[in-house]
Structure 1
Amino acid sequence: MSKWTSVSKLSVILESGYQNCNIYTNGRNRIGVTINIEPTDENGNPIEVDPQHLTANLWLIDYVDESKLNWNGFSGWAYTDTANDFTAIPGESGEATIEEGGTQQVTFYVYCSPGVNRKSIGVQVRTDSDDTVNSSQNGTYSSKVMLNPRTAITYMRGDIDWDYSRTTTQLGGDAKNVTTEAWNYYLSLKAVDNHFVAFSVSHCFSEDGYDGLFAWNITPESGYKDFYGGYVWYREPHDSAYHSGQDGHLGEIVNFPVGNGWCDYAKIYDRQYPERYLCFTWVHSTTGGDGWHIPNGPLDYWKKWFRPRIVAYDMYGNTGTFWVDGSDITSALKIYDREL
């Protein structure tokens, strides 16, 4: 049986086909680096190596000093074998190269932390005969890629859009019982060539029937007939999490199963590319009779509110942290880049 003893080809290239590119130093932006390798046996003939075994015997290294990058590391230059939501190149640079076929390929994903310097990256191979072959400055091969670090971005209030528009509800026009008005607010990145791709939300309810609720006020001035509420639709992916048949994306609102026997649904994420936005809904709903009844689920007070904390991530893993104020829910939804 043939034994893997050497390689007749060893090169490294960015997954995009370029030899150099930028990378954000936020620890999340990942750049795909593909190794092209042709293993050979003791007679110099091409040999197929099990992909898993091949991957286990390849390392990304510093092109100059041949030190290994940190595998699944948390600092400096590191790499792993899986892509993430932020595997994207911040602009393209360099000249694309077309690699010849007939070789085995393994792709790793490089990322880095703040404070790193520009890095030239090569590759090291260990064969089954325990021989080591490098693509490095002093190695058998000289292929490399170059990564240029960019300072991570922190987004502030002026970097985002906070648009709102009226939306429809399934039962809001039933004036015999309840009349509902609803407005959707959309958080998005104010950029031409970039957008948010993920959101992390805390400080809201997550139970059935009240999912996303973070503020309400049932006003005593009207005999507790007016309900004002705020909802954040945080489940992902946004373009499928709230889908309901032909009605599109719907979020459950104004849920009073006890006493009133009422709930409604607002149309949400009614925009192109909904996954690029985080949607909030402001609701004003008026009922007749003796007003709204509590307790219903978490609604055991006439008035209660939180300030949802949102971490928004762009295509490259850069972030902005924002808070939506629920203290004045009878008025509007306001967003801040600081905790009040």
Structure 2
Amino acid sequence: MSTWTSVSKLSIVLVSGDESCDIYANGRNRIGVMISVAPTDEDGDPIEVDPDHLLSRLWLIDYVTESTLNWKGSSGWCYTDTENAFTSTPGLSGERAEASFDDDGTQLVTFYVYCAPGVSPKSIGVQVKTDCNDTIKSSLNGTYQAKIKLNPRTAVTYELADVDWDYAHTSTKYGDNTKYVTTDAWNYYLSLKSVENYFVTFSVSNYFGRSEYDGFFSSHIPPDSHRKNFYGGYVWHSEPHGSAYYVENDGRSEAEVVNFPDGNKWWDYAKIYDRSYPERYLCFSWVHSTTGGDGWHIPNGPLTAWHVWSHPEIVAYDRYGNSGTFWVDGGDIIEGLKLCDSRP
């Protein structure tokens, strides 16, 4: 049985085919790099190495010092074998790392490089250890000299001036076609104000999580007009946005606005994520509903007071892992939804 003793080829290149590119130094942006290695046996003939075994025998190294990068680390220059939501270089996103065997005996392995804030530019080579424990390097003084260079950019923190906070009237399933209640709703959309970049994921906290009230974060039923007016705020946080709220029979995305099973016998559904590329936005809804008779009833569902609220916190991430943290002021709901970049 042949033994893996050497390689006839060892090179490294970005998955884009380039030798250098920028990377955001935020610990999240990942850049795919492709390693080409051609294992050979004791006679110099090509030999196939098990893909998982090959992955375990490869390391990314500093091209000059030959020190290894941090495997799945959290400081300095690091690398891993999986992509994430922020694996992006201009015009290309990486794929999950795996080895494959080509007809010419070359096997390909993809790693993903990332870096923490404060690092300097890095030239990166590769090191492989054969089954006879011989180490072969692509480095300044190695057997091979292929390398890539990554140039860190300062991480970006987004503020209110960097985002759009648009709102527009939206339809509800029942609207004013109800016996007891009329409903009016507006959607607010948080997005990145950029031509080439956009948000790709959102982390949201501080809202009611019960299924029939999921996303509900604020309500106010003022004493005027015998408490006939209900004002509510909702954040539609489930991802992926394009399918999490999609109703196949209706051909639209909709979400239940808080229902009142006691006394008023009312609930409704607001049309949400009614824009192209819904994954690039975070949708909120502001609802104003009125009822006749002796007004709204409490306790009802999660409502135990006429004014109930929290301040949802949103961390929005762009395609490179840069982020901004925002809050919506749930305490001031009657006039609509207000976005803040500091906690209300």
- Give the alignment's TM-score, normalised by structure 1: 0.96
Q: Does 1:321 align with 2:325?
A: yes
Q: Do the aligned partners of residues 322 and 166 (structure 1) sit closer, same or farther apart at CA in structure 2, a change above 3 Å counting? A: same
Q: Does 1:199 align with 2:209?
A: no
Are 2:46 and 2:105, in contact at CA under 8 Å, matched by a contact in 1? no
Superposition misfits of 4+ residues, deviation over 4 angstroms: 99-102
SS at match of 1:155: coil
Q: Choose from 123, 133, 157 the match for 1:154.
A: 157
Task: Give, in whole Å, the separation in 2 of the partners of 1:50 and 1:209.
Answer: 50
The count of aligned residue pairs is 334
Residues of 1 paired with 2:138 and 2:71: CA distance? 18
> Which residue in the other structure is 1:96 paired with?
none
SS in 1 for 2:279: helix
For residue 65 of structure 2, what is the aligned residue in structure 1?
A: 65
Comparing 175-184 with 277-286, greater Cα deviation is found at 175-184
Partner Cα separation in structure 1 for residue 290 and residue 104 of structure 2: 68
CA-CA distance at 1:330 after TM superposition: 0.7
The residue that corresponds to 2:110 in the other structure is: 107
1:253 maps onto 2:257 in alignment: yes
Query: What SS does structure 1 have at the residue aligned with 2:221?
Result: strand
CA positional deviation for 1:295: 1.7
Partner-residue secondary structure (3-state), 1:284: strand
Unaligned runs of 5+ residues in structure 2 are 93-101
TM alignment of 1:183-332, pairs within 5 A:
183-247=186-250, 248-332=252-336
Say which SS state the counterpart of residue 279 (structure 1) adopts. strand
Give unmatched runs, 5+ long, in structure 1. 93-98
- The Cα shift of 1:100 comes to 10
Work out whether residues 22 and 90 of structure 1, in 8 Å CA contact, stay in contact via their aligned partners in 2: no
Contact 1:23 1:90 in 2 (8 A): no
Distance, in Å, in 2 between the alignment partners of 1:101 and 1:131 is: 22
Determine if the alignment matches structure 1 residue 2 to structure 2 residue 31.
no
Write the letter of the residue equivalent to 1:266: A
CA contact (8 A) 1:22 1:91 kept: no
Out of 148, 167, 171, which is 1:164 matched to? 167
CA shift in 2, pair 1:75/1:90, >3 Å = farther
Query: Which stretch shifts more, 214-223 or 159-168?
Result: 214-223
- Asked if the contact 2:180/2:266 (under 8 Å) is kept, the reply is no
CA deviations on 1:139-191 (whole Å, 9 max, x unpaired) are 00000000000000000000000000000000112153211100000000000
2:23 match? 23
Deviation per residue, 1:253-287 (Å, 9 max, x gap): 13111222211000000000000000000000011
Equivalent residue letter for 2:286: W
- Residue type of the alignment partner of 1:328: D
TM-score by structure 2 length? 0.95
Q: Is the 8 A contact 2:39 2:105 kept in 1?
A: no
Aligned position for 1:140: 143
1:83-113: CA deviations, max 9, x gaps? 0000001579xxxxxx996510111100000
Q: Secondary structure at the match of 1:22?
A: strand
Q: Contact 1:258/1:296 (CA < 8 Å) preserved in 2?
A: yes
CA–CA distance in structure 2, aligned partners of residues 68 and 15 of structure 1: 20
Q: What letter matches 1:17 in structure 2?
A: G
CA 1:45–1:100 in 2, change beyond 3 Å: closer, same or farther? closer
Aligned residue for 2:161, secondary structure, equals helix
Amino acid at match of 2:183: T
Deviation per CA, 1:209-252, whole angstroms, max 9, x where unpaired? 11111110012112121110000000101001111124311110
Residue 230 to residue 144, structure 1, CA distance change in 2 (3 Å):
same
Give the C-alpha shift of residue 296 in structure 1. 2.2
125-134 or 172-181, which deviates more? 172-181
